[in-house]
Structure 1
């Protein structure tokens, strides 16, 4: 047993009488050979190979690799051997000393500290029985640190599909690797050998799918061929996938009809895909599909032709189903014709006709060109484009609505999260600059949409370092005198969600004066106690290069504790100046000439916010709404008005009157007591919404106005772009669009609080929802799903349920 093997579970039964009888018979035969008799194999000689299997185990620590080995034989196992190679090298070898027909071993291998995290380890096992028969080799891929190992699979054709000599086989391969896919290919063994692969260049992707053509020569003689996929990641780690076997036939022996297989999602869009695969040893000449109504009326059909050289033909059809009413049920059929002219349709294993009944839904889903994850989105009407922050790719995705295509992305800072426009006026007109919160750094990107064909980052605004101090009085343990303690609390300054506001005249059409970016921060575990993993809310005056840290919601004294607040700004990159945002103490002169001390006392437990605090601005850039994230009930919501200014009482104004009062924040919690999964705000900021177990509508003073009976989910919500309050006119603008746990977007009346419609889509929304109005007046909903970005064009003719 190897020293690396630290634990196993093994049961060895005692020697059976049957084995003793076999030994006795073997001795008799040996004596006969000594008299000159011919030695022949006995009629009961064991020629059946043992079987062996490997599965990844469940280690108790990342410093261990675990595999479970299962071996079986019809008469008796003799030896089992396990080898590990790659990131670490180890072996396990055991020899049976008694009759064992079934064996299960759990092997735990300790990982040396020198082994790199993420390195791939290939485990191989083989079993030998008492007659010397050796099993096929079993393999499983492991990864140091128990990360997901690279994987490669043959997705089509299915195992056992026939291939004909002189014909071509279409192989469909897919691979996935944590450290990106550099090479994906296959090895061929059995009737003949071959090897092929495709290599990829930067930027590498973490998942790849490809098709390859395998031509079976006329000269091949043999029963089967075996295709083994393999993958090589960017660390040059090579991993083999599970082999797939195919039967080889000659054209003369093939008298078959096509075997057709279809693949279609249970919910499809008008522009969607239908997968059809057909296999026939003599070759496929035609492959296609039909879409019919439940009554049998043909809606659309399509097919492709081939010269019949391919025994397997695979096609993913891009279809356009002529349907205008959603949702609608249709039936999908696949068909094929072989090189001999014989036609058949998709069938179930029983032989009955297969028809896929699917639902046609609204919307058009576009996968991100190079994958990633969308955090936020913004529609820019002047160029009719949608801009989406891709956290994992460090850029903005640019989607052109005019031709439904992605344009070249715009590189920004690290891990872009929130996005907002640079305000121009009170009519909601945006300037040609976008603001992007880079949560992987401490800056905000300025993206000039006039620069280049799609836009370009032109500047990164460095956000300041803001330190909060709490000053408390306590008695000295040695002198019993009152002493003052000053404790610094250093929060993360990395921006997360972002909203754009401005101050100035409120008259419609009036230009913005100072532009104020309001943002939440991304917490980190390294923050000062007791604020580990808690974020903050701040604003940054981009015009005057000044800052404010939201403390107003925490004003007041906790029971048995009094903390005086002090906040200091440290400028970054020479932008703005170091300054005291909130002094510990100010001296205020009374009208009679006497002096009094002015300080802000706060409740420290209400100063910070949980991770993923949502922020949105109103369409006229006057107000913003905040919703505290996290999977906890009793989340806080707040509003902000950029036009209210500071309370001018002390010499240095410190209290922003535009921030919700502490008593309003606590009253909102009492009225809702919900977790927040998204926020929304209408055009003028008169209606705000937080989405939790239901959707709660409230005014700018946080007074609850009504509840929308929406369903909890990870998706967001938005108002109609022209919604201007409870009595919004025209009535068709008095709407809110809310994501659901189901694949629908619910439409609510924001005055009657009733659901007036549900828009069926393919997948549930799991990210932000944005309602936009294109220059041609068309209303468009945008949401992030598991498959990409879904756009739904609406008629904008919804009717409300009350006046």
Structure 2
């Protein structure tokens, strides 16, 4: 039902008028407050209910259901939040007893994710009986409602007057956690309130370990109610936990201990130990022993606990001297009370068996992102020995320094940073002191200075407008030309940095040509509603190119001539036709030649998402298009391409009479692999693409689908690696060069791939075989990068669900892969 009133035919208006008179008569006879006891009066209330149907960053949606036994008159819904208002009023002019009204409200970008939006709906029937209002609270962004819980103590615990009690609280909010705390009541004269306020950058989830002193408390029932305050100042209360407080200190107790540790750990992981004893806990710790016998003793740690503490929570950072992975070990926790009684392992079952967990120690060091968020891309920068990660949710680059294995201060950039590339210096792969970052939330490329660790400039990308001029011959033999505009988003996504100049090793780079893919938006032209594009921008001459070479050709009945207009942004570069519709050459007064580009229009677009990576020597870039293998509708099969910046443009042509002409505007970039090469590659490997990689000199590239397919610079398939589908991260060894050939790999002809399993797989690209598996704590679900760290060792950096994992693969391991 549309929230607006319906238009009625004359006959239905007459019926509605009669219905309205009847309603007036009934109200006059037994209106509210009249005191009438008329048996024919309608006193039943309508019923209204609200149901949420969706919530995203840009809109919320809900459905209002209303019903009445005789007939509804109106249904109202009001939407309110800070900075937001909406709703509808629907009036019925005929007898409607039941209705469902869907409603969608756009959310302005000024409304933070996690904002609570309140919807109140009511209804009224023809007798003016009002329904009880129904209320619905929706959280913008679909992040779910905020929550806060007490994880310690437990309702089965007993505390002691005069002792301290460990309190652990966890909270989460899509609007970030500003403060966590608790209210203690029941054993104090007045409720006691304590909290911790967190400083920026705020996190969307956090845990707090603190202590509650029971000095001055009385015996009885203690109730602890957790609360959380988000960045918008809104308070959320959690479920309370109640436990008994006694003033009797026992003398014959044994500490109760529990601990938590994952089944797969890294050598510097943490173990969480909890201990409780009414006579007081004085020590708490853990032990690690070898398998299979549990001896000899392997590692341990413990801490003293302040006096008069009946429960304690402590997190230990382990430092296990493990060098071979995976390694299985046994873990136990212990505590000692004030009566020096220990063996404080928590009994399991009636047999009193001491709890022992078996853990597997794996390679790597996982570090959570300093302020949370989501990693979109990563880059290793040798001059600073740092990993730079684009945090698309926090509009920053997170900086992980390999010298001290810590995150340094993040670098603020533009909106929704995605791809990262380094400024090229020379053909040896030397990176400059500038990083280029694609701001996918706008149309800008950030320049980040790695010396000052600051953003210093934003390059405004131009608008590239593609147009087709369709020539159709009618039945009368006349030629009709129609110009059609195709509006694509100009927002950059992935980047590949290349540079012009000689290809000899050590040669300094010329102009930097940045290849970039674009991410689509909803307002694009048909048939490119969900398609992106591939382009390049010369960052010094401000010349632009729109990749059309893969689409050159014509359909059987239609000739679509291409024109591309460059519209300069913020005065950078010029506004001009970079692909003119027609270039004209006059051979003689009676002989004119024309030069145009004819394309198959649907092949101009690239799917979302299209990946790109540059070779280590900045000469080539690989492009891989995601999507279903067989294509849907007008979409082509998933395609893979290469680009060689040194190939240059076609600068002349010969007309049909054999006359040569120099093009005023060269348009065909010879570095873009032609469509026949793309088709040939897909004919061999028609599968969706989920990631791409390219080796140092660009002679070998890989695309990942159901397996990983390796191809040379002419897109000829060389072989495949039996990687699994799923997690897409792949990268070549940083010194992998050339094409596969017989002989040993020398520890460099290698390829790294993430897996659905918690491991990184290493493949020999000469023989296409897996030669090493490196176990990790968590699967790598984002990009993976390799970088040399001296001595023939390589460090792998991958994004996981819990942060960034750093794994060192030794020279010995790599040599064994030969």
TM-score w.r.t. the length of structure 2 is: 0.80
Correspondent of 1:782 among 797, 801, 807: 797
* CA–CA distance in structure 2, aligned partners of residues 400 and 119 of structure 1: 35
Q: Does 1:673 align with 2:686?
A: yes
> What is the aligned partner in structure 2 of residue 40 from structure 1?
none
Contact 2:187–2:217, Cα closer than 8 Å, also in 1: no
* CA–CA distance in structure 1, aligned partners of residues 107 and 550 of structure 2: 50
Listed as ranges, the matches of 1:395-474 within 5 Å are 395-450=396-451, 452=452, 455-474=453-472
- The CA deviation string for residues 49-94 of structure 1, in whole angstroms up to 9 with x for no partner, is xxxxxxxx87699555999xxxxxxxxxxxxxxxx99979xxxxxx
Q: Does 1:751 align with 2:754?
A: no
Contact 2:384–2:450, Cα closer than 8 Å, also in 1: no
Correspondent of 2:518 among 510, 521, 530: 521
> What is the aligned partner in structure 1 of residue 598 from structure 2?
601
Q: 1:279 to 1:121 in 2, by over 3 A?
A: farther
Contact 2:530–2:608, Cα closer than 8 Å, also in 1: yes
Q: 1:591 to 1:743 in 2, by over 3 A?
A: farther
The more displaced of 151-160 and 713-722 is 151-160
- The CA deviation string for residues 678-698 of structure 1, in whole angstroms up to 9 with x for no partner, is 110000001100111111101
- The CA deviation string for residues 68-126 of structure 1, in whole angstroms up to 9 with x for no partner, is xxxxxxxxxxxxxxxx99979xxxxxxxxxxxxxxxxxxx9999989998654899xxx
The more displaced of 344-353 and 240-249 is 344-353
Q: 1:558 to 1:181 in 2, by over 3 A?
A: same
* CA–CA distance in structure 2, aligned partners of residues 65 and 144 of structure 1: 16
Contact 1:382–1:775, Cα closer than 8 Å, also in 2: no
Residue correspondences, number: 700
Give 3-state SS (helix, strand or coil) of 1:206's partner.
Answer: strand
Q: CA deviation at 1:245?
A: 1.8
- The CA deviation string for residues 567-622 of structure 1, in whole angstroms up to 9 with x for no partner, is 01011111111121111112246799943222211112211111121110000100
* CA–CA distance in structure 2, aligned partners of residues 114 and 387 of structure 1: 35
Aligned-residue CA RMSD (Å): 3.2
* CA–CA distance in structure 1, aligned partners of residues 556 and 387 of structure 2: 50
Q: CA deviation at 1:197?
A: 2.2
Contact 2:624–2:689, Cα closer than 8 Å, also in 1: yes
Q: CA deviation at 1:227?
A: 1.3
* CA–CA distance in structure 1, aligned partners of residues 177 and 360 of structure 2: 35
Contact 2:747–2:817, Cα closer than 8 Å, also in 1: no
Q: Does 1:187 align with 2:161?
A: no
Contact 1:422–1:515, Cα closer than 8 Å, also in 2: yes
Listed as ranges, the matches of 1:710-789 within 5 Å are 710-725=723-738, 726-727=740-741, 731-775=746-790, 777-789=792-804
> What is the aligned partner in structure 2 of residue 377 from structure 1?
378
> What is the aligned partner in structure 1 of residue 268 from structure 2?
271
Q: CA deviation at 1:632?
A: 5.3
> What is the aligned partner in structure 1 of residue 97 from structure 2?
none
Contact 2:184–2:222, Cα closer than 8 Å, also in 1: yes
Q: CA deviation at 1:639?
A: 0.4
Q: Does 1:169 align with 2:184?
A: no
- The CA deviation string for residues 482-539 of structure 1, in whole angstroms up to 9 with x for no partner, is 4321111111111111011012111111111121100101111111222112111000
* CA–CA distance in structure 2, aligned partners of residues 307 and 236 of structure 1: 35
Q: 1:64 to 1:541 in 2, by over 3 A?
A: closer
The more displaced of 337-346 and 700-709 is 337-346
- The CA deviation string for residues 10-54 of structure 1, in whole angstroms up to 9 with x for no partner, is xxxxxxxxxxxxxxxxxxxxxxxxxxxxxxxxxxxxxxxxxxxxx
> What is the aligned partner in structure 2 of residue 34 from structure 1?
none
Q: 1:792 to 1:221 in 2, by over 3 A?
A: same
Q: CA deviation at 1:200?
A: 3.5
Q: Does 1:306 align with 2:305?
A: yes
Q: 1:243 to 1:122 in 2, by over 3 A?
A: farther
Q: CA deviation at 1:421?
A: 1.0
Give 3-state SS (helix, strand or coil) of 2:334's partner.
Answer: strand
Structure 2: segments with no counterpart, 5+ residues: 1-42, 66-77, 83-99, 120-134, 631-636, 654-662
> What is the aligned partner in structure 2 of residue 215 from structure 1?
213
Q: Does 1:356 align with 2:357?
A: yes
* CA–CA distance in structure 2, aligned partners of residues 586 and 619 of structure 1: 38
* CA–CA distance in structure 2, aligned partners of residues 59 and 684 of structure 1: 51
> What is the aligned partner in structure 2 of residue 643 from structure 1?
646
Contact 2:222–2:244, Cα closer than 8 Å, also in 1: yes
Q: CA deviation at 1:347?
A: 3.4
Q: CA deviation at 1:774?
A: 2.1
> What is the aligned partner in structure 2 of residue 319 from structure 1?
318
Contact 1:752–1:801, Cα closer than 8 Å, also in 2: no
Give 3-state SS (helix, strand or coil) of 1:282's partner.
Answer: coil
* CA–CA distance in structure 2, aligned partners of residues 664 and 784 of structure 1: 33
> What is the aligned partner in structure 1 of residue 334 from structure 2?
335
* CA–CA distance in structure 2, aligned partners of residues 485 and 768 of structure 1: 44
Q: CA deviation at 1:310?
A: 1.6
Q: 1:801 to 1:214 in 2, by over 3 A?
A: closer
The more displaced of 733-742 and 349-358 is 349-358
Q: Does 1:150 align with 2:146?
A: yes
> What is the aligned partner in structure 1 of residue 807 from structure 2?
792
* CA–CA distance in structure 2, aligned partners of residues 65 and 342 of structure 1: 62
Give 3-state SS (helix, strand or coil) of 1:663's partner.
Answer: helix
Contact 2:701–2:711, Cα closer than 8 Å, also in 1: yes
> What is the aligned partner in structure 2 of residue 495 from structure 1?
492
Q: CA deviation at 1:437?
A: 1.2
Contact 1:752–1:802, Cα closer than 8 Å, also in 2: no
Q: 1:305 to 1:656 in 2, by over 3 A?
A: same
Q: 1:63 to 1:796 in 2, by over 3 A?
A: same
TM-score w.r.t. the length of structure 1 is: 0.81
* CA–CA distance in structure 1, aligned partners of residues 404 and 432 of structure 2: 24
* CA–CA distance in structure 1, aligned partners of residues 141 and 761 of structure 2: 44
Q: Does 1:584 align with 2:581?
A: yes
Q: CA deviation at 1:403?
A: 1.1
- The CA deviation string for residues 666-687 of structure 1, in whole angstroms up to 9 with x for no partner, is 1111111111111100000011
Q: 1:142 to 1:510 in 2, by over 3 A?
A: closer
Give 3-state SS (helix, strand or coil) of 1:644's partner.
Answer: coil
The more displaced of 401-410 and 241-250 is 241-250
Give 3-state SS (helix, strand or coil) of 2:520's partner.
Answer: coil
* CA–CA distance in structure 2, aligned partners of residues 418 and 611 of structure 1: 14
The more displaced of 597-606 and 565-574 is 597-606
Contact 1:293–1:330, Cα closer than 8 Å, also in 2: yes
* CA–CA distance in structure 2, aligned partners of residues 354 and 747 of structure 1: 37
Listed as ranges, the matches of 1:227-266 within 5 Å are 227-253=224-250, 255-266=252-263
* CA–CA distance in structure 1, aligned partners of residues 688 and 460 of structure 2: 32
* CA–CA distance in structure 2, aligned partners of residues 151 and 558 of structure 1: 58
Contact 2:700–2:713, Cα closer than 8 Å, also in 1: yes
Q: 1:112 to 1:364 in 2, by over 3 A?
A: closer
Give 3-state SS (helix, strand or coil) of 1:209's partner.
Answer: strand
Q: Does 1:389 align with 2:386?
A: no
> What is the aligned partner in structure 2 of residue 660 from structure 1?
673
Q: Does 1:345 align with 2:341?
A: no
> What is the aligned partner in structure 1 of residue 559 from structure 2?
562
* CA–CA distance in structure 2, aligned partners of residues 155 and 553 of structure 1: 58
Contact 2:179–2:196, Cα closer than 8 Å, also in 1: yes
Q: 1:469 to 1:687 in 2, by over 3 A?
A: same
> What is the aligned partner in structure 1 of residue 48 from structure 2?
6
Contact 1:249–1:281, Cα closer than 8 Å, also in 2: no
- The CA deviation string for residues 370-397 of structure 1, in whole angstroms up to 9 with x for no partner, is 1111111111212211111111121111
Contact 2:436–2:447, Cα closer than 8 Å, also in 1: yes
* CA–CA distance in structure 1, aligned partners of residues 430 and 140 of structure 2: 53
* CA–CA distance in structure 2, aligned partners of residues 708 and 382 of structure 1: 32
Q: CA deviation at 1:319?
A: 0.5
